[in-house]
Amino acid sequence: MMLQPDALPASQVVLNAFGIEKGGDAHQQNANVARVLGLLFTELELLVSELKRHDYSDEAIKPITAPFDTLSAGGLVNQWQRIKGVFAASLLSLRPIA
């Protein structure tokens, strides 16, 4: 996981993870967040589909998908320090898959 300053909003952390620098007007920033979240959730759906195809249970998949529930419209304004622990915990569930 990339180290990110705790005080950043979650939306900026997501953009940083995809290599997108903060900049531009509000319209451009919102477009970037929407585009990145679309990619992120598409990849998550593909991962879940593959896991189910390989007979992973919902119980095994939940720790992987749960952190992404924090990336709701309201959650994106939270400071990273409030949600980073949930993402860090999901890495343990992803290790056997990688």
The number of domains in the chain is 1
Residue range of the domain that includes 78: 10-94
Q: Tokens for 23? A: 């900049």
Q: What pLDDT, in 10s, does the model give residues 25-58? A: 889 989 999 999 999 999 999 999 999 999 999 9
Q: What is the largest CA-CA distance in the chain?
A: 45
3-state secondary structure of 79: strand
User: Do the domain assignments include residue 49?
Assistant: yes
Model pTM score? 0.81
Q: Is residue 29 part of a domain?
A: yes
Cα distance between residue 7 and residue 81, in whole Å: 7
Judge whether 2 lies within some domain.
no
**Residue 43, domain member (yes or no):** yes
Q: Report the phi/psi class of residue 77: left, alpha or beta, with left for phi > 0 and alpha for psi in -120 to 50.
A: alpha
Query: How high is the pLDDT of residue 2?
Result: 67
**How many CA atoms does the CB half-sphere of 27 hold within 13 Å?**
0
Q: Domain for residue 78, yes or no?
A: yes
Q: Is residue 5 part of a domain?
A: no
3 within domain boundaries: no
